[in-house]
Amino acid sequence: MRYVVKKQENVLGACVLYDVNRNPVKCFPKEQGDVWVFETELSRAVFYTQFLVKGFGGTMIFADNGGEGYPPSDTPLDLRRACMESRLCSVERYAAMAKKEWGYLPKRTTERLAAVRRFLGTTGEDYKREGAGGCPAAKAGDAGCAASDSRDTEAAAGGCPGAQSSAAAEEAAFADLLWAGEELVLFHANHTIERRGKRDRFTFGCCLKGFTDGGEPFRENFKELFGQGTIPTHWGVFEPYRGETHYDVMFDMLDWCTENGIAVRGHALVWFCPWWEHENWMGSLSYEEIRRLEIERAELIFGARPNAFECIDFNEPLQQNPYNFTMEEHFQIVKDVYDVVKRLSPKTRIMINFYDEWQNKYGMDVNRNEDFIAFKKQYKLPLSPPNEYCCSIPEFIDYCTKHGMQIDALGLQFHDFPYELFNTMELLAWWHERYHLPIQLTEICTPSAMGKSPIRMGLRPSPANPNYWHAPWDPQIQAQWYRDFATLFYSLDYVEVMNVWSYSDAPTQWADYLEGHINEKFKLGAFAFDGMMDFDDRPKPMYYQLKELKEKWEL
């Protein structure tokens, strides 16, 4: 089967093929002039991409033809238009559900959807005319233009999107469509919370990196807000040199959390990272040595503190594979450690934790995608090994359960922007409906500024992702993001934790034993300005937003 898609400006050259159930397919497109050509056995195809839409911000979006997929064709698919039509179909289905549930919809949202429908169905006159009739939000009692949200500084500066060109009209319609989805998700989430009332088993969490040298201010701020602490158990950080171990630092964190009634997730109990492990002394180990030492490490941790971890995760299975393990090899190490945990710490729950939650990188040829390669080179990120083995996350989870492992929760890392509320709602539903497992958002990295951090080691931390949410990142946008997304997460009974990944913008280090070591850069965050404290460890607005929600919801 042959599918042809127009090449259009998007984010990282992402155009990925999926089946009608939104499972990614490893089918890399061939560039032929101004089109991409996919050749596959799929009889119906779905496409994924990412756009930065003026007047709204970044979006992860599917072209799925109303869920039916597209038939093979040599006529080039206009991906941008197809994404708009598909999203409109999805949003209107969601709107119908919400209206049936609550009896009404927000007036502004229905006006946006009506205008987008007219644009896609006719010539887009609503967006080409200026004045009272042209902008769908310029109605009585609705001041300003549809794209001019108070958090959208770019659109607000430009007034009503009465653009004269068809491209500008399309951009304005696209922004309205994305805003409509955003508004509906918050509308439904807020009403759900109001009707349902307070719920158990939801909390805010944060990474405990910084505990050792953070002193009492760190501990007091942490206790006031967070019900879960995450301890990165990175092998290359706790054992920087072979035979030199520093697990006392881990146990200090664990004991403090236990004393203060804070649940603990042990992060990356098994993880083969190109940085923390593979560039370290572990990089030269044989498979059998790695397997034996991973078992010994698990026995040390869980033998010393049985049942102290409420949860542990196996991290990014075969998403990071510098050793180029096969499925069977990687799984065997995970199963060995799993057996240790079940034997020594039977109350500890098991999580599979992963990034790239729509798995678009799985479906991309990341070693041939020029935009992606340029991005990695710019930030000195290692390229994948040639012919690297990988699999999809469902393939790995299904393999684990088939071979005797019980998975208790899914961890979605949530730092591969651009996220927006409607796509996130669909994403969470997709994973939950597939496995019926609780979900934790485990590594949220949402910045408060653009550009490079003034304190850096090499190129860590990386600059904030340019595919922003609604407007370029600043402290208020960051705070509003946390409030809106927390509202969505809290409204979903299957979401357990919203975890802030960086406590502070200032460098934090567990102890001075990493000084001069290649992993010393671990004291810096992954992304610039994503802490809830600034460089002087003063709380940002997001901290107060989360505190307010914690008190409101009695977390």
Per domain, the residue ranges of the chain are 2-80, 88-196, 203-553
In CATH terms, 203-553 corresponds, of 3.40.50.2300, 3.20.20.80, 3.30.200.20, 3.90.380.10, to 3.20.20.80
Provide the β-strand partners of residue 270: 314
Please state the three-class secondary structure of 175-200 as a single string: HHHHHHHHHHHHHHHHHHHHHHCCCC
For the sheet containing 73-77, what is the strand order?
30-32, 35-39, 2-6, 73-77
Other beta carbons within 10 angstroms of residue 229's beta carbon come to: 23
Predicted TM-score of the model (pTM): 0.91
Other beta carbons within 10 angstroms of residue 314's beta carbon come to: 26
Per-residue pLDDT tens digits of the chain, which is 555 residues long = 999 999 988 766 678 999 999 999 988 888 899 999 999 999 999 999 999 999 999 999 999 999 999 999 999 999 999 999 999 999 999 999 999 999 999 999 999 999 999 999 854 455 554 322 333 333 333 323 333 333 333 333 333 444 447 889 999 999 999 999 999 999 999 999 999 999 999 999 999 998 988 889 999 999 999 999 999 999 999 999 999 999 999 999 999 999 999 999 999 999 998 888 888 899 999 999 999 999 999 999 999 999 999 999 999 999 989 999 999 999 999 999 999 999 999 999 999 999 999 999 888 766 666 776 777 677 666 666 666 788 999 999 999 999 999 999 999 999 989 999 999 999 999 999 999 999 999 999 999 999 899 998 877 898 888 889 999 999 999 999 999 999 999 999 999 999 999 999 998 777 789 989 989 988 888 899 999 999 999 999 999 999 999 999 999
Of the CA atoms within 13 Å of residue 94, those in its CB half-sphere come to: 26
Alpha-carbon distance of 473 to 150, in angstroms, equals 14
Alpha-carbon distance of 315 to 308, in angstroms, equals 19
Task: Kindly tell me the burial class for residue 32, based on how many C-beta atoms sit within 10 Å of its own C-beta (0-12, 13-18, 19 or more).
Answer: exposed
For the sheet containing 16-18, what is the strand order?
16-18, 46-53, 57-63
For residue 40, the one-letter residue type is: T
- Angle value at C-alpha 314, between 310 and 316, nearest 5 degrees: 135
DSSP character string of 376-407: HHHTTPPPPPTT-----HHHHHHHHHHTTPPP
**Conformation bin of residue 99: beta by default, left when phi > 0, alpha when psi is -120 to 50:** alpha
Q: Where do we find the tokens 């080039």?
A: 76
Alpha-carbon distance of 170 to 365, in angstroms, equals 30
